[in-house]
Structure 1
Amino acid sequence: MRPIDLAREHGLSAQAIRNYDDAGALPPTERSTSGHRRYTPLHAQALRSFLALRTGHGHGQAVEIMRAVNEGDNESAYRLIDVAHVALRAERGTRTEVATALAGLSATAPAPLRGRPLTVGELARRLCLHPATLRTWETAGILRPDRDRVTGYRHYGPDGVRDAEIARQLRRGGYRLRQVAQFLESLRAAGGAEALGVFLESWQQRLTVRSRNLLAGAAQLDRYLTMRDEIAREDVSAAAAHRPPRP
């Protein structure tokens, strides 16, 4: 087969196939006497594997996986695949922690702050906490107070007070400082609790899609490895059949 023959199945250009070949995503390629590349069904399956892996792992990682396999280093390929699954598991855990924290918040929100921002002492009294606790939360990335331009003193506007109240509630629920900071970061990025709910649903959908993509890539790679092993066994059998008998 020619590069264009492999390319048609996936709507790619012949040049893209040559690029993947040069990058090591395809197994070694024979050339005709005129120098043209000649591909086989094994190359076609390698291309399917690479494209499927790329969807779940990204281009660079997919190239590394296929290059390792084509160099006979399956162990390195498996390690690269394992890394992707570990990262996905960690991200899934993060999403679960944030969702749990959101569900654990009180249904009755505290009265929003009105008027001027609060000082550390005023906010501490509002929450029945020690001012040192608020400073610890700031160090942990939970709170981000503004600073007075003249005095440098901390002051907390409506968003800062909201974050502190949420942090107090989560801490009472047993959440660690890292988890509280993580939740509030997600809340700020989403733009509020209601928006965070939508964000979490979208996040879950992305995780599901990536899980399926990783599975699809693994399935195509397994077909490629199986095909390659079968060809290797056939080559060994053919070589044995043509080996002259021992005297």
Structure 2
Amino acid sequence: MNSRLRPADLAREHGLSTQAVRNYERDGFLPPASRTPSGYRVYTEVHAAALRAFLALVKAYGHATAGGIMHAVNTADVERALTLVDRGHEQLLRDRETLNTVRAAIGSLPIGAVPEPAGGARTVGELAHRVGVTAATIRAWERAGILVPARDRATGYRVFRAADVRDAELAHLLRRGGYPLTRIATVVEQVRTAGGTESLARALETWQDKLTARGLAMLDAAARLGAYLASRS
């Protein structure tokens, strides 16, 4: 584990530039490198394991979370690192559950009016809270034609009914899947008018593939992170 490696040695394995490797060290994603008397960085197999772990984590969890995990490990806060990993798995599970719920509902989407829940219509804030987004996001979805709320005749305020809640939940799922607002508006409009669910079904299949890929990436990242932790002991 103590063999000396140059920045170029680490970079070559992943097709990176040596500057990228130095930047990762600077940002705390790799442990600090020792220096030769002339000031050159000296990396080891521990650094190589750290770089493999970081890049695998980026693929599985995204750059910000991957960086947080590596910062935590490199500052000996393993519990924090594991908490971030757990949160990523929790989000994946929630996405799977939401996807399965939407898929199960495709064959029985109501035509015409959707029965209102006991609580009645919702405001912008109430809908945002239910879906787990900001009120600004709800307004952006409305501007994109994804949501078409009614207006309260007395106050002029937007009121969101059961069908709007359904459309917002579908929009949230598809947005997390990387779909642009224009595409989401098309899918939701088809559901809203009950004119067909083929586009929705295709979108869900694509999202299923992405969830599977993310799950597999998490398995690989866990192995790489485990190897890095072992190399530090």
Q: Same fold (TM over 0.5)?
A: yes
Letter paired with 2:120: T
Rate the CA distance shift 1:102–1:28 in 2: closer, same or farther, 3 A: same
Match of 1:182 among 166, 169, 190: 169
Superposed, which structure 2 residues align to 1:19-58 within 5 Å? 19-58=23-62
TM-score of the aligned structures, taking structure 1 as reference length: 0.65
Rate the CA distance shift 1:209–1:189 in 2: closer, same or farther, 3 A: farther
Segment drifting more, 92-101 vs 181-190: 181-190
Letter paired with 2:82: Y
1:90 maps to 94
Superposed, which structure 2 residues align to 1:53-202 within 5 Å? 53-105=57-109, 136-137=120-121, 139=123, 144-145=149-150, 167=163, 181-183=168-170, 188=185, 190-191=187-188, 192=190, 193-202=197-206
Residues 152-203 of structure 1, C-alpha deviation per residue, up to 9 Å, x if partnerless?
99xxxxxxxxx98xx5xxxxxxxxx955752477674525222111111111
What secondary structure does 2:76 align onto?
coil
Rate the CA distance shift 1:65–1:128 in 2: closer, same or farther, 3 A: closer
RMSD: 3.4
Q: Quote the offset at 1:103 in angstroms.
A: 2.4
* 2:222 is the counterpart of 1:225: no
Q: Quote the offset at 1:68 in angstroms.
A: 1.0
**Structure 1: how far apart are the matches of 2:35 and 2:101?**
55
Letter paired with 2:169: Q
Q: Quote the offset at 1:222 in angstroms.
A: 0.5
Q: Is the 8 A contact 1:25 1:70 kept in 2?
A: yes
**Structure 2: how far apart are the matches of 1:8 and 1:128?**
58
Q: Is the 8 A contact 1:49 1:220 kept in 2?
A: yes
Q: Quote the offset at 1:91 in angstroms.
A: 1.4
1:10 maps to 14
Q: Is the 8 A contact 1:97 1:179 kept in 2?
A: no
Aligned residues: 189
TM-score of the aligned structures, taking structure 2 as reference length: 0.68
Q: Quote the offset at 1:63 in angstroms.
A: 1.3
1:203 maps to 207
1:174 maps to none
Percentage identity across paired residues of the two chains: 40
**Structure 1: how far apart are the matches of 2:67 and 2:168?**
36
Q: Quote the offset at 1:49 in angstroms.
A: 0.5
